[in-house]
Structure 1
Amino acid sequence: MNHFLLLGVSLVATSVGLYIIPFCKTAVLLIVMMSVFGISFGMLDTGGNVLILDIWGDEGAPHMQALHFSFALGAFLAPILAKLALDTPVSAENHTEPAFQPPATNGSSEADSAPLFGLPDDMNLFWAYAFIGTYIFIVSLFLFALLFKKSSGQEKSKPSAQGYRRAEYHKTLLCLLFLFFFFYVGAEVTYGSYVFSFATTYAGMEEHEAAGLNSIFWGTFAACRGLAIFFAACLQPGTMIVLSNIGSLASSLFLVLFNKSPLCLWIATSVYGASMATTFPSGVSWIEQYTTISGKSAAFFVIGGALGEMAIPAVIGIVQGQYPDLPIVLYTCLGSAIFTAVIFPVLYKLATLPLD
């Protein structure tokens, strides 16, 4: 399937979902719409990575970093924009409601007559979704324009960016990279999700301090992804992964050892966010240097990251609730850092083995 068509369709589906979600009045319908939204976003994530590999091959490291920087920047800015939009509620009561509603004869008929769609109580909620949905739709138009652009002459004259190559342990590399991204993304989302709760309940921080700690994690994460665009032009992806592993291992170790020190929490959280920023895009660029990555291959290790994002925070939340006196979140980050630091040399060894 054409990459531009896939990305364009996924963005249109995302845009439509963003317009519909504020009007959902039942939990089932909201679950369906969020599922469609998640599927389209998964297509966008995988398709974007594969498109960059297809266009630039193993020379696409700066472009890969730019793609993932856009993810981080959007994740950082979207909640701020949403908060600004939701600060002043606007009522949607532009229609008359009857003063008296006769009681329903039975519960089932009342549930059956409940509307699936309706105006949200706060219209600013709709405008927040509509603004982002419109922006995404405009971007999709550019992708469709690229799809329909007459470029047959350019396609013929375009030199191949890379030849097809397949490492001897191609499938083993993909499986190990699946695990690598599973633990890396899981640790990233776990710390980002629970750092506020950890800081308030375990480290004894005030809520505004904990909010600042959460912001500095995601802020350094986004900033270093932006800087990585320039670093990727002069550093190999493998070098960036090693530096990221060292930073995440050192910072998570300090977090575990000095988990009650506010100064250490601030410094180590900043370093941890910066260290985690470049690992995923560098990993995708790195594997392309040794074995050609198809759409199915990219989808496989992207699924690994998605499963880690879903499973590890859920499990850690349950375990942390069972052992509130232990910094389970920090142990998870340290354990994931150790795992990724150990598995990457194995990946490198397998990738560089000569073909028979």
Structure 2
Amino acid sequence: MRGLDKQNMKNCDINEHDDDTEASRMLVTDSYEESYIRDDGNDLDEEIRKEPAQLSTERDSRKNEETLWIRLKNDKFIRTKYILTTAYIVSFLTLGWVEGQFGPTFPELRVIAQITLEKGSFFFTMVTVGYVLGSVLMGYLFDRQTLNRDLMVFLATSGYGVVIAIVPWCGIYEVMLIIHVIKGAFGGALDTCGNAGMVMVWGTEGDAYFSALHFSFALGGILSPLATAPYLKSRDGSVNSTAMNRIKDLSNSTIPSYSDVDSTLDIKNLSNLSSNQTSSGDETSTVYIPYTMTTGLCILTSLPFFVFCCMSFQKTLEIEKAKEEVENRRKTQKRLRILGFINMVIYIAVYFAVENSFEGFLTTFVMSELHWTNSQGSYITSGHWAAFATGRFLAIFIVGFFRPRKMIFTFNAMMLISLLGFLIVSFHNVTIGVWIFTLTTGFSMSVIFPTVFMWTEQTFLRVTGKIASIFLVAASVGSMINPPLLAVLMETFSPMWFGYILFGETVALFLLYFVGLYVSRKISSLESLEADAELAVSNDDTEAHKE
């Protein structure tokens, strides 16, 4: 018995020693975790207060930053995705370059075709018509996969370049109109491929890359007029000034607006230009030089997609995408998702009505209502788009920290406040106020369009070629709504209708946002209920199996 008692006491001592050791280990672990939390800059309460999705996103972001270089080094598939992303971004630089070149060279094209300003304005109409046709056609082909998707991007980009090379040699007006329709069709096709292709590559993870894609378009719109200006003839001083004015072509989308004619051209001088040049014809246009440069740029940026087509990388990407679709298949709430998508299509149309009208009629408004000079109007328009480009550049770095719906709300509210402020300071003719609110309006418009794509992809419907083309068609329709309405109201009643209409449409944008927010939350709540129901059924089956 004594031997047994001694053995029990010995075992008790060993157990107590093990408990002390385990307690020490737990104490050290807790201290380390507390130290880690303090070093990381977030206390436990802050972590608990954060939403699970936000907390998961931040942890994934830290993990991605740590493993990115390792993945690039060891994973050929990841490297290829980044190379393809770079190719898409460069192709949109080309797209912005072409659009930015159109305005400054428009007077030269009128001289070549020997037409008046009224006839020349149909070039813009034909480009828009072509954009719609190209977007719809490419959206259909992109989803049907009639051709390899990389091959379609190659054909759209290289075809864009070939058509652009033909433009300055069209001396017949009717031929010039047809060429501009074809040019617009290739532009719309490339626009659709770029937006849908980027989502195809990255899915819901592509916020930053999508912002970079649209920033590159804005950058192309800035650089193109500067590269084109040396080759433009100085005709009564009106043409060279359009190089600076055309900076406004950093449009949120590649859809050209009818109001381009209004804000980028000195109409009086251009009328004199047309009559003088068509009669004398003593100056030879050199606009074919920058157009040839653009053709070369298009051909060069199309080559990576031809290489990808030969590598059959798209097939590998589609296999990976199919796996994700199986894991994240959106079977539930189909009607609500379609309703949310329709709401976002209307949102895009109204947004482009505001965005294109503001940049297109800004110079006219400050000249007629505030009695500014044409050069002052040009400078404030350039400042507006410089602020726009700045916002789009910053979005590359901030989209990873906020959900798309929060980004849209923030910038939409900023745009609403900016346009209200613009309306008030314009009414009281406060010059510095007009400048401030013009810049904040440009900044607030910068991220809305690409962020709508990401919100649609994450919440409503997968952004395919058809979805992208529908968005672009809506953008085209929105671009066509305001110009005739504003022209009539500003001429018949007062130029202040410029501010009234845009502010009212921005209020409508805000209401459409809240409709989309309500639908998205409804989808989330119903999905949570279905998940809970499935979990309850699973638990019941488990308990029944145990019994």
TM-score tier after normalising by the smaller chain length: 0.7 to 0.9
- CA distance in 2: counterparts of 1:37 and 1:134, whole angstroms: 16
Greater helix percent: which structure?
2
Query: Could you tell me the percent identity over the aligned residues?
Result: 23
Aligned with 1:31 (options 177, 182, 185): 177
Asked whether 1:140 is paired with 2:306, we answer no
Instruction: Determine if contact 2:308/2:314 at 8 Å carries over to the other structure.
Output: no
Please name the residue that 1:281 is paired with.
450
Aligned with 2:156 (options 10, 13, 26): 10
1:149-168: per-residue Cα shift (whole Å, max 9, x none)?
14489559847455332553
Instruction: Determine if contact 1:185/1:308 at 8 Å carries over to the other structure.
Output: yes
Aligned with 2:165 (options 14, 19, 33): 19
Aligned with 1:81 (options 210, 216, 227): 227
1:302-321: per-residue Cα shift (whole Å, max 9, x none)?
21112112332233223322
Please name the residue that 1:315 is paired with.
485
- CA distance in 2: counterparts of 1:258 and 1:338, whole angstroms: 19
Task: Please give the secondary structure, in 1, of the residue aligned with 2:401.
Answer: coil
Change beyond 3 A, Cα 1:226–1:246: same
Q: CA deviation at 1:77?
A: 2.3
Asked whether 1:128 is paired with 2:290, we answer yes
Please name the residue that 2:329 is paired with.
164
Structure 2: stretches of 5+ with no match in the other structure: 1-144, 236-280, 531-547
Structure 1: stretches of 5+ with no match in the other structure: 90-118
Q: CA deviation at 1:55?
A: 1.1
Aligned with 2:471 (options 283, 301, 314): 301
**Counterpart of 2:216 in structure 1: which amino acid?**
S
Change beyond 3 A, Cα 1:316–1:156: closer
Change beyond 3 A, Cα 1:75–1:313: farther
Report the count of equivalent residues. Answer: 326
* Worse-matched range after superposition: 182-191 or 148-157: 148-157
Aligned with 1:176 (options 333, 343, 349): 343
1:131-157: per-residue Cα shift (whole Å, max 9, x none)?
112101111111111111144895598
**Counterpart of 2:498 in structure 1: which amino acid?**
V
Task: Please give the secondary structure, in 2, of the residue aligned with 1:289.
Answer: helix
- For the aligned residues, what is the CA RMSD? 2.3
Change beyond 3 A, Cα 1:157–1:303: closer
Instruction: Determine if contact 1:7/1:44 at 8 Å carries over to the other structure.
Output: yes
Instruction: Determine if contact 1:165/1:292 at 8 Å carries over to the other structure.
Output: no
Change beyond 3 A, Cα 1:48–1:151: closer
Aligned with 1:210 (options 364, 374, 377): 377
**Counterpart of 1:76 in structure 2: which amino acid?**
I
Instruction: Determine if contact 1:57/1:161 at 8 Å carries over to the other structure.
Output: no
Instruction: Determine if contact 1:56/1:161 at 8 Å carries over to the other structure.
Output: no
Asked whether 1:61 is paired with 2:207, we answer yes
- CA distance in 2: counterparts of 1:270 and 1:152, whole angstroms: 41
Change beyond 3 A, Cα 1:180–1:152: closer
Please name the residue that 1:201 is paired with.
368
Instruction: Determine if contact 1:12/1:140 at 8 Å carries over to the other structure.
Output: yes
* Worse-matched range after superposition: 24-33 or 143-152: 143-152
Instruction: Determine if contact 1:186/1:311 at 8 Å carries over to the other structure.
Output: yes
Q: CA deviation at 1:84?
A: 2.8
Look at both structures and tell me which one has the larger radius of gyration over its CA atoms: 2
Instruction: Determine if contact 2:422/2:437 at 8 Å carries over to the other structure.
Output: yes
Please name the residue that 2:62 is paired with.
none
- CA distance in 1: counterparts of 2:430 and 2:504, whole angstroms: 21
Instruction: Determine if contact 1:14/1:41 at 8 Å carries over to the other structure.
Output: yes
Instruction: Determine if contact 1:164/1:292 at 8 Å carries over to the other structure.
Output: no
Instruction: Determine if contact 2:212/2:396 at 8 Å carries over to the other structure.
Output: yes
Please name the residue that 1:257 is paired with.
424
**Counterpart of 1:349 in structure 2: which amino acid?**
Y
TM-score between both structures, scaled by the size of structure 2 = 0.56
**Counterpart of 2:330 in structure 1: which amino acid?**
R
1:152-202: per-residue Cα shift (whole Å, max 9, x none)?
895598474553325532322222111101111121111111111111111
- CA distance in 1: counterparts of 2:318 and 2:169, whole angstroms: 48
- CA distance in 2: counterparts of 1:66 and 1:276, whole angstroms: 15
Change beyond 3 A, Cα 1:294–1:231: same
TM-score between both structures, scaled by the size of structure 1 = 0.85
Instruction: Determine if contact 1:174/1:300 at 8 Å carries over to the other structure.
Output: no
Task: Please give the secondary structure, in 2, of the residue aligned with 1:258.
Answer: helix
Task: Please give the secondary structure, in 1, of the residue aligned with 2:372.
Answer: coil
Instruction: Determine if contact 1:66/1:226 at 8 Å carries over to the other structure.
Output: yes
Change beyond 3 A, Cα 1:155–1:207: closer
* Worse-matched range after superposition: 171-180 or 147-156: 147-156
Instruction: Determine if contact 1:178/1:303 at 8 Å carries over to the other structure.
Output: no
* Worse-matched range after superposition: 164-173 or 64-73: 164-173
- CA distance in 1: counterparts of 2:458 and 2:369, whole angstroms: 44
Please name the residue that 1:229 is paired with.
396
Change beyond 3 A, Cα 1:152–1:332: closer
Aligned with 1:347 (options 510, 516, 528): 516
- CA distance in 1: counterparts of 2:315 and 2:155, whole angstroms: 26
Aligned with 1:44 (options 172, 176, 190): 190
- CA distance in 1: counterparts of 2:234 and 2:420, whole angstroms: 43
